[in-house]
Chain A
Amino acid sequence: MVPTNYYVILSAILFGLGVFAFIFKRNIITIFMSIELMLNAVNLAFVAFSQAFGKLDGQVFVLFVIVVAAAEAAVGLGIIILIARNRQTLNVERVDLLKL
């Protein structure tokens, strides 16, 4: 059996990498993908604890997180397409002013 700590440490590492990608990448889509990475890391922790305590609540919550992530990805990517159409760039440093 793999101890639960191992899963939680892996989750922390992935979350940290997601935060790093979120702060230091300049492409909007890559930033969005790092959000998904963070959500995945959190899901991993949920399932690890669900297995540790023998209850299924963690896995049910993971299902909800996945659903919410799907909805968020759909709307977020719609917004990204609009930004790309309006500003003709995908670089976040160029879209930091409300006025063109």
Chain B
Amino acid sequence: MRSLLAANAELVITIVKIVLLLFIVLTVNAYLTWFERKVVAHIQSRWGPHRVGPHGLLQPLADGMKFLFKEDPTPAGADKFVYYLAPLLALTLALTSIAIIPFGPEPIRLFGRDIYLGIAPPDLNIGILALFAITALGVYGVALAGWSSNSKYSLLGGLRSSAQMISYELSLTMSVVGVLLMAGSFNLRDIINAQARHPERGFFGWNVWPQILGFFCFFVAAIAETNRAPFDLPEAEQELVAGFNTEYASFKFAMFFIAEYTSMITVSCLCSIMFFGGWLSPFPASWTLTHYLPSVVLIPFGLWVIMDGVRYETIFGRMVLPVVGAAITALGALFVVVPSLNEFIQAPFWLLSKIFLFLFVYVWMRGTLPRFRYDQLMAFGWKLLLPVSIVNVILTSFVILMWGAK
């Protein structure tokens, strides 16, 4: 058994990484729904889920159980094979795109091997192109779902949604070309390293400054691509009766749901990697005191959770919250005490904070902006966003030709 493991060590390591990452991504998805409901609720001056567990933290669990136990009807006359295939396809593609994202620069040395953080090998030459390929295939999940439900509303919603997705896919890929020109490679790690060329510039060396047009095009196109507010006309509840997922209930609806939130996470990862320096710290490299920032964030947060916990209403909250707070504080203290761990945690900490920031902006936009009408949406994508991203490509190539990739 041991020799079998040793012979296929690469395979075993990859499988372990996949399982771990799937677990983490699905948990993050669940708590992202909680986060969204809380934030949107507070924007709308109400509380959001706060009964199920302390601060509503067990709400995703309740939702999951509801999805599992609800009745699962299949519409009459629906094409069974395609009806079951569509959510499966959407979920598989969304989860596959997480495999390409690198989560840390340095490999961990375990069992005498270098284990890179991130499933795809570090020298994947077509990193971002593979992500676009997976996004391009994502249109099928929506289109087939709308068609196979044998219902007028679903068909219209599915057609509208997939037309929206392929229109904004163009601007999405074009807006990234500027970043690729500056980095000279499709590989995501190379893109981050290209932004680290001037470590003294810190925040100002990131791609967002030279590529501000590209960043806005990419972010807007990505929101439209993931069918989120304000571009969520095809699936909003007040419009076409929830659009292409009208006829989907319980677990299949949950699969679409998870696919949407996972693609949100992927887009946030991409934004932070390509435009905001990925795992680079915004402070110049010479300010070594900022290496304690993870602890500076974690320890007060943990203490605040403890203080909130001891005065919470329910007994369950009074038991659980202080423990959670103590764990967070202990983690923060650990980083102060063990310097090598502190160095290791810098890169993932910054990447995760940036991803969190983008997710917050996503949710913020959902709570604040009104929806686009469908013709406004298509006009915006073709007549404004696509020309702007093309202009961005032309400008960037002109600048690089004249002055080299600064």
The answer on direct contact between A and B (beta carbons under 8 Å) is no
* Residue ranges of A at the interface with B (Cβ–Cβ < 8 Å): none
* Residue ranges of B at the interface with A (Cβ–Cβ < 8 Å): none
